[in-house]
Amino acid sequence: MKSQEAVRQRIDELRELIRYHNYRYYALDDPEITDAEYDELFRELQALEKAYPEFASPDSPTARVGFPPLEAFEPFEHPVPMLSLENAMDEGEMVEFHLRVQKLLGVTEPIVYTAEPKMDGLAVEILYENGLLVRAGTRGDGYRGEDVTPNVKTIRAIPWSLYAHPEAPPIPSVLTVRCEVYMNRRDFHALNRQREADGEPVFANPRNAAAGSLRQLDSSITARRPLKAYCYGVGVLEGPAFQTQWDILNALKRWGLPVNPLSRLCDGLAAALDYYRDLEARRADLPYEVDGVVYKVNRLDWQERLGEKTRSPRWAIAYKFPAHQAQTRLRDIQVQVGRTGVLTPVAHLEPVPLAGVVIRRATLHNMDEIARKDIRIGDHVVVQRAGDVIPEVVRPLVEKRDGTERLFTMPAQCPACGGPVVRLTGEAVHRCMNRNCPAQIEGALRHFAGREAMNIEGLGKQIIHLLVERGMVTTPADLYHLTEADLLKLPGFAEKSAQNLIQAIHKTRRPELASFLYALGIPLVGTYLAAVLADRFGSFEALRAARYEDLIAVEGVGDKVAESIRRYFENEDNEKLIRDLFEAGVRPKEATAGKTPQAADEFWKGKTVVLTGTLSSMTREEATERLRQAGARVSSSVSAKTDVLVVGEKPGSKLQKARALGVAVMDEEAFLKHLP
Ligand code: IVH
């Protein structure tokens, strides 16, 4: 037992150390210790703070991943108003802007502009006092926003303290930095997939996702969202004087703040227009949404001379990219049933060309979205494609209504199986409750066969549809019992193609553990988490036997995920699917690569284990002894409390009982691997 004083000292020391290493890592980009060493310090501090809550402190570095939830946001006054920007919609308007600038300044020499990608996120102002992050607020109406300090502090890219770079101007005593908080498209899609699986409403686009994530009263939610930021300007600045916007951007960068590396200096209008064309050509390949280019007169003295209008400065303009939007007619709203039974309303449109493709369908997300946008069947609508996001219906053209439009209601019966449709309390989505619904079965099979799952080559949507329609396959396990003769009964199959598909199916019988876990479609377990779980638990048996506490101890596994995994393995249908897959010869490989010895040591601690059958490598007494040493309780009969049944040769009725109860079963090979 440590004395209170010793604990306190260690806590202070750890906080100091972590702050220092944060600085090395985030501000200097020059870490002194490895990530693992950092994690160790961090976890030690977390553990101490948990055990000694009397030493908790709101400015502890651990607070970065969560502050106590707020009741409501406090107002955040912008010391210098955050203006908005005038837009140029085409080249003509850009030329006008440039000529106006020239005329107002009364100069004939070329005007140098900074060109910065206009990030599509939400604007935030961050106040640094003597280099330390003090407060942060959203833009709001430009004069007053919301104080979102704890939330902004969870964004990894935003330093808590600025770095005094030797080649940068000294750090100002007071500085407000303006930045755009955004989310990468990939992260946005992943977040939406997770929300969908979770029965939560999806975000319509990355900007909404970023805004929704930042404006959370509970900052621990923000901390789990993959937010990023790019800084583009300053508000208040007490200290060094700058000559140009370009110098400001460079200083921000050197002080450790993220600045978009695609920003450039453009010498004159022609160079500015070239930049626009280049960026637009790269737009689809950028990891984030950009809705145009922001041009600013580079010289600050000229900016001052040009001055401001009420809402926007005269020295800057946003030259917007054409929105990929078009108008068309919403013919019908049909409902699609996904693998988890979620019903998604899909807009069927009169085909319309948009950004190089013909759009026929667009997602409407869910009932709430349809109601919020007041979209009706028969409406003329605006549709849009943002980057690679699936097209969506933006809004109805209400003025074009003629009274024949109809409101959409969710069907009470599943369109695929006629089963009951319900909207569970707290869920934004409607679900088909029939587990035998063919649409769900097809969805599950498509997921199982998918490239990131079992990767069964040649097993596409059409074939899956035929197999399910004809009742030849109802679960993924059935795939492994298909024969060439079965496939030859389907249209389009010849001897060779049937043979190929059967071979492709059988080739997947020894999947990587991570792929197998993902293929099962455990709610909330995507490819990334599947890989983490495979790495941490090493074998399927170990994961199946993992208790809630074991799961939650894994970095990246939260409460919901841990519960979801437990619920998955406790479900009888899933239990049967796994048994059937194993009986069909599917055996995921063990993932030993990243497994830490500690994982093996800890595995048995507190678990109730039963042995059955004869082990070839040791006697039952020996096995019992080793399990006890590893911290397990060895029991003689299987019950619902049993965590693992270890099976040797010729197992008895215990195996049947364990299976009936859904107890994890481990064969000798796996057992040996898990012994410390
Ligand atoms: S400068 C007085 N630069 O666009 C100048 N804004 O419509 C004010 N934005 O509220 C803004 N990237 O949310 C500026 N490189 C950039 C920007 C940018 C995105 C957003 C920002 C602002 C809005 C103005």
What digits encode the pLDDT tens for the residues 85-122?
Answer: 999 989 999 999 999 999 999 988 889 999 999 999 99
Q: What is the pLDDT of residue 56?
A: 82
Q: What is the pLDDT of residue 601?
A: 58
Please compute the mean of the pLDDT values over residues 276-295 and round it to a whole number.
92
CA of 85 to the centre of ligand 1 (A): 7
CA of 289 to the centre of ligand 1 (A): 14
**Can you tell me which atom of ligand 1 is nearest the CA of 318?**
7
Q: Which fold has domain 438-583?
A: DNA polymerase; domain 1 (1.10.150)
Q: Where in the chain is the domain with CATH 3.40.50.10190?
A: 608-674
Instruction: Assign domain 4-63 to a CATH class.
Output: mainly alpha
Q: What backbone torsions phi and psi does residue 338 show, to the nearest 5 degrees?
A: -90, 180
CA of 233 to the centre of ligand 1 (A): 9
CA of 215 to the centre of ligand 1 (A): 19
Question: Residue 190: in which H helix or E strand, if any?
Answer: helix 185-197
- Alpha-carbon dihedral sign for residues 397, 399, 380, 331: positive
**Can you tell me which atom of ligand 1 is nearest the CA of 83?**
2
Question: Which of 22-36, 119-133, 181-195, 402-416 is predicted least confidently?
Answer: 22-36
Please compute the mean of the pLDDT values over residues 77-81 and round it to a whole number.
91
pLDDT-derived band at 468 (thresholds 50, 70, 90) equals very high
Q: Where in the chain is the domain with CATH 2.40.50.140?
A: 325-422
Nearest protein Cα to ligand 1, atom 23 = 84
Q: Is 316 in the pocket of ligand 1 (CB under 6 A)?
A: yes
Q: Where in the chain is the domain with CATH 3.30.470.30?
A: 87-320
* Pocket probe mutation, ligand 1, options 232, 253, 303, max atoms within 8 Å of Cβ: 232
Q: Is 211 in the pocket of ligand 1 (CB under 6 A)?
A: no
Q: Is 317 in the pocket of ligand 1 (CB under 6 A)?
A: no
The tokens describing 294, both together, are 């922001």
Q: Where in the chain is the domain with CATH 1.10.287.610?
A: 4-63
Nearest protein Cα to ligand 1, atom 13 = 123
Q: What is the pTM of this model?
A: 0.51
Question: Residue 15: in which H helix or E strand, if any?
Answer: helix 4-22
Q: Is 233 in the pocket of ligand 1 (CB under 6 A)?
A: yes
- Please name which of 319, 332, 414, 418 lies closest in space to residue 370, comparing C-alpha atoms: 332
Residue with tokens 């006008």: 96
What CATH number matches the domain at 608-674, 3.30.450.20, 3.40.50.10190, 3.30.70.1900, 2.40.170.20? 3.40.50.10190
* Pocket probe mutation, ligand 1, options 80, 114, 119, max atoms within 8 Å of Cβ: 119
CA of 217 to the centre of ligand 1 (A): 25
Q: Which fold has domain 87-320?
A: D-amino Acid Aminotransferase; Chain A, domain 1 (3.30.470)
CATH for the stretch 325-422: 2.40.50.140
Residue with tokens 């703070």: 49
Q: Is 467 in the pocket of ligand 1 (CB under 6 A)?
A: no
- Measure the CA dihedral 197/200/204/205, to 10°: -70
Q: Is 419 in the pocket of ligand 1 (CB under 6 A)?
A: no
- Alpha-carbon dihedral sign for residues 337, 341, 343, 347: negative
331-390 pLDDT, tens digit per residue, is: 999 999 988 899 999 999 999 888 666 789 998 888 888 999 999 999 999 998 764 456
Nearest protein Cα to ligand 1, atom 17 = 118
pLDDT at residue 654 is higher than 90 = no
Q: Is 145 in the pocket of ligand 1 (CB under 6 A)?
A: no
E strands of 298-413, at which residues?
316-320, 325-337, 342-354, 357-363, 380-384, 392-396
Please compute the mean of the pLDDT values over residues 536-547 and round it to a whole number.
93
Q: Is 294 in the pocket of ligand 1 (CB under 6 A)?
A: yes
The tokens describing 662, both together, are 């859904």
Q: Which residues are catalytic?
A: 118
Question: Which of 29-38, 150-159, 267-276, 321-330 is predicted least confidently?
Answer: 29-38
CA of 219 to the centre of ligand 1 (A): 25
Q: Is 355 in the pocket of ligand 1 (CB under 6 A)?
A: no
